[in-house]
Amino acid sequence: MTDFCPAENIYNLIPREQTILTKAPRYTSTFREYVREESKKNKSLNRTMGPAKVEVPSPKEFLHKNSKEPKVSERKSDRCMVEETRRPPVPRRTEQPIMGVQTKKNFINTNAADAIMGVPKKPEHIFVDSRKGDKHPLETSGLVPKYIKRKDYGVTPEYLCKRNEEVRRAQEEYDTYVRERIKQGAMKQISDEERESVLEGLKKNWDELHHEYQGLSVVIDTTPKKMHKERLEIQMRQLERDIELIERHRIIYIANN
């Protein structure tokens, strides 16, 4: 903060020493010359200040008359041109020119022998499947009976034989078990007459339940009516399952109590 000194002051009459301000020396980089040379070296001639520095042509190399016109080669004599375009002479009748590989094979006799001894080519079997005459190979069409000519045609596959053997063995074991149980008196086989009578009785019971079911009222709005209808349906379904079971099996065994 500087002291405030008015323009009219007695202290201004005292002479003062003048102070001279000295500036610090200007900074100079040590790489100044190096940078200057690099900038000149990487700069193209067209980007420098002033005209490009090129070599001045020599005064002796001035432009001569007709120097830029195309030069025509010297014309050769007619005799030389005739000799260059002359073709080789035609061979005489007695001369036999050599062409390609030489061989003593008689191709005429060889081709005739191959044609006589060769087996004629069989025509390809085809079939036509349109009125325009479109042809297709018959071998891959599936119309040729190939599988009936195979060695294993008509032979039962191995897995079917194995399955049949397992079924036969299971049936034999079941028959053996049934015979033993019959001998012990634990079960018996019902006759055909008993089976028919049981089947007729089941069908008669189903008819009675069905007649009763048909006689139900059209409007079922009370709980007893609904329960009666459900009970009839359950009994009819059970009778249908029993009838189907008896009709499907001809031999029926029952256990003795």
Average pLDDT over residues 44-57: 68
Whether 89 and 97 have beta carbons less than 8 Å apart is answered as no
Q: Is the dihedral of CA 10, 13, 16, 21 positive or negative?
A: positive
Residue 119 pLDDT: 87
Cβ neighbours of 109 (radius 10 Å): 9
What token pair was written down for 157? 């596959």
Whether 236 and 210 have beta carbons less than 8 Å apart is answered as yes
Smallest CA-to-CA distance from 243 within 206, 213, 190 is with 206
Average pLDDT over residues 245-253: 87
Q: For the chain, how are helix, strand and coil distributed in percent, rounded to 5? A: 45, 5, 50
**Alpha-carbon 227 to chain mean position:** 63
Looking at per-residue pLDDT, the higher value among 91 and 58 belongs to: 58
Residue 1 pLDDT: 46
- Whether the model clears a pTM of 0.75, i.e. scores above it, the answer is no
Whether 239 and 202 have beta carbons less than 8 Å apart is answered as yes
Residue 3 pLDDT: 53
Q: Is the pLDDT of residue 67 over 80?
A: yes
Which amino acid belongs to residue 199?
L
Q: Tell me the domain boundaries of the chain.
A: 158-255
Q: Is the pLDDT of residue 169 over 60?
A: yes
What token pair was written down for 88? 């080789």
**Residue 255 — very low, low, confident or very high, per pLDDT cuts 50/70/90?**
confident
Smallest CA-to-CA distance from 201 within 165, 135, 166, 246 is with 246
Average pLDDT over residues 153-166: 92
Give alpha helix (H) positions in the chain: 32-41, 78-85, 107-117, 158-184, 192-214, 223-248
Q: Is the pLDDT of residue 250 over 50?
A: yes
The helix-helix angle for 223-248 and 192-214 (nearest 10°) equals: 160
